[in-house]
Structure 1
Amino acid sequence: MSEHPFEGVRTAVIDTVSLAYREQGQGEPVVFVHGSASDLRTWEYQLPAVGAAYRAIVYSRRYARPNEAIPEDADDPMLAHVDDLVALLERLDAVPATVVGHSWGGFVCLLAAIRHPEVVRSLVLLEPPVLSLFVSTPPRPVELLRTLVRRPRTALAIMRFGISTAGPAEKAYRRGDDEAGFEAFGRGVLGEEAFDRLSPARREQAWENVAVDKAQLLGKGFPPLSDDEVRGVRLPTLLMHGERSPAFLRLLTDRLEELLPRVDRVEIPGASHIMHEDNPQAVNEAILGFLKRP
């Protein structure tokens, strides 16, 4: 990564929020929305590859570096990020756009397509954590029981994630031990091996955004999402999952594949949850192949 990672970034002002962004190329707009523990830097391998044939735009969501930091004890509701994305597309004259979202950012993209289909041309979703298709956050026992009856593998995977990852991370953050929260969540979402492989620069990027992740984990959770809302997304959609991603993320992607009416799916070899960093060549090939379809 560059010694000056934010050199040359531009700023778009959306109401009272400033969003840092970069763009490269011309043509149909393709906008990238990052997930947790990251910012626009996570797309460093996608911007030049996609920007060679399209107008590629990467941005940092509100409160992510180098934007203004999140106020202490503030919530960070997902729907605010949906509104930011829609407003940014309009501000940059990038409507309609293909939106590419990773993890938390993928959920943002899906909600944008549901609520504002006029601004989205097509979707590329990299393991969005659509837990609210099954349970609230935090889950109610009756929801877990219902999911256990209907989709036992998914229910067990969600419970394991809560017990081994989300629960310990939340407890650590609440007692003020941000390092332990960061470690618990990172290892649970990426897997032990992938977390240990992170470069010092990538760990630094994640740590610089830890306050945002903390706010999201301790906040009100994901917005409700119904099967019918997902079925109503009639846009061309590409789903990706990492070969080595945790089971609960693969199972959530399975459900999206069942519900979305115009969907393709690709497995990224050798990759965990941050597949666009683990195997950027395969991810770029999948995105570009999808974009070239009539």
Structure 2
Amino acid sequence: MALLTDDLVVDGVRLAYRDHGRGEPVVFIHGTPSHSCEWRNVVPRIEAAGYRAVTYDLLGYGLSERPTSRDTSVAAQTDLLGAVLAELGLDRVNIVAHDIGGAIGQRFAIAHPERVRRLVLIDTVSYDSWPSATWRKIIDEHLDDYRNLTQDAFNALLTRQLEMTVATGGGMAEDVLDAYLAPHQSALGRASFFEHQVRHYDSKYTEEISDQLGGLTMPVRVLWGADDRWQPLDYARRLGDDIPTAELVVIPNAGHFVMEDAPERVTREIIDFLAVPASV
């Protein structure tokens, strides 16, 4: 299930990334609890359709560096996105962003609208939608004592959460689940998960920009799984109402990880959207 192929050093940190294809650039930003493996059934098809696709693991996630003294919040990841684009020589890009990556995409588009051709928000966190009730419980119970979790207990905890992300009967296939769990199969991996991901589950990063969404002028497609148990469809509708250029597309029989439930449909929606005239 390997997708990323290289490493990139940006602002003094190492990021695992993939930069393949030619044509108009499309940057994919994954969510949480995840890494770039979530795009494995989408990105190669975007490349084959004639686009340059850039995919990377956020700092502290997946195969990227896990620094102990580096801010990995949504705000910091937004700044790092700008550094990634500068390092790759990309002035204007399309952004496809999922979950917490959607918060990064929103913030970047608001701060740098001239650099975003089009924006796809997939089952994104927004407003006060996060953390979900089940993650709030985990934060309350485990954030300060996660070091006491055994590997088996950690895997069971994260497996329960990951099983909630899909709508298909029977949950995730075993090999898919293993791919999502893989970065966390060590004491460092478990610690990194809580310190670099869970500790930054904070809606302040989206609430503080909610009144600026109406100023976005680039084409926006809000893509949502109808059966998302973490980010209710009402938030998708709210985004569709608040962003003047937004179009809402709801995918039936799909959950929060819509690219797992309906990768072909997600790919078609992205390719279709990339044909929409971009803002000047």
Residue 214 of structure 1 aligns to which amino acid in structure 2? Answer: F
In the alignment, which residue of structure 2 is the partner of 1:37?
33
In the alignment, which residue of structure 1 is the partner of 2:198?
217
Tell whether 2:205 aligns with 1:208. no
- Aligned pair in 2 of structure 1 residues 31, 220: CA closer, same or farther (>3 Å)? closer
CA contact (8 A) 1:75 1:220 kept: no
Deviation at 1:284, TM superposition (A): 0.6
Deviation sequence 1:38-65 (CA, Å, 0-9, x none) = 2222211112211121111111111222
Residue 194 of structure 2 aligns to which amino acid in structure 1? Answer: K
| Alignment partners' CA distance in 1, 2:42 and 2:220 | 18
Deviation sequence 1:14-57 (CA, Å, 0-9, x none) = 11111111122211100100111222222111122111211111
- Aligned pair in 2 of structure 1 residues 269, 134: CA closer, same or farther (>3 Å)? closer
In the alignment, which residue of structure 1 is the partner of 2:110?
114
Residue 246 of structure 1 aligns to which amino acid in structure 2? Answer: R
Residue 95 of structure 2 aligns to which amino acid in structure 1? Answer: V
2:68 counterpart SS class: coil
Aligned with residue 275 of structure 1, among 251, 254, 258: 258
- Aligned pair in 2 of structure 1 residues 119, 209: CA closer, same or farther (>3 Å)? farther
Deviation at 1:218, TM superposition (A): 2.8
CA contact (8 A) 1:75 1:219 kept: no
| Alignment partners' CA distance in 2, 1:81 and 1:230 | 19
CA contact (8 A) 2:237 2:248 kept: no
CA contact (8 A) 1:37 1:207 kept: no
Deviation sequence 1:218-266 (CA, Å, 0-9, x none) = 3472424243211111111000110221274312212111100101111
1:27 counterpart SS class: coil
Deviation sequence 1:196-227 (CA, Å, 0-9, x none) = 52122322232234545422323472424243
User: Normalising to structure 2: TM-score of the pair?
Assistant: 0.83
Tell whether 2:248 aligns with 1:252. no
Deviation at 1:181, TM superposition (A): 4.0
In the alignment, which residue of structure 2 is the partner of 1:166?
136
CA contact (8 A) 1:103 1:127 kept: yes
User: Structure 2 matches for 1:22-33, cutoff 5 A?
Assistant: 22-33=18-29
In the alignment, which residue of structure 1 is the partner of 2:123?
127
| Alignment partners' CA distance in 1, 2:145 and 2:242 | 39
Deviation at 1:75, TM superposition (A): 5.8
Deviation sequence 1:247-293 (CA, Å, 0-9, x none) = 74312212111100101111123211111121111001100111112
- Aligned pair in 2 of structure 1 residues 98, 34: CA closer, same or farther (>3 Å)? same
Tell whether 2:253 aligns with 1:288. no
1:174 counterpart SS class: coil
Determine which structure has the larger helix proportion and give its number: 1
User: Normalising to structure 1: TM-score of the pair?
Assistant: 0.79
In the alignment, which residue of structure 1 is the partner of 2:187?
none
In the alignment, which residue of structure 2 is the partner of 1:91?
87
CA contact (8 A) 1:34 1:40 kept: yes
Identity %: 27
Aligned with residue 211 of structure 2, among 219, 225, 228: 228
Deviation at 1:165, TM superposition (A): 4.0
2:89 counterpart SS class: coil
Residue 123 of structure 1 aligns to which amino acid in structure 2? Answer: L
CA contact (8 A) 1:276 1:283 kept: yes
In the alignment, which residue of structure 2 is the partner of 1:63?
60
Deviation sequence 1:74-127 (CA, Å, 0-9, x none) = 763111110111111121122200000010111111111011222211100001
In the alignment, which residue of structure 2 is the partner of 1:197?
171
Q: Which runs of 5+ in 1 are unaligned?
A: 139-160
- Aligned pair in 2 of structure 1 residues 17, 28: CA closer, same or farther (>3 Å)? same
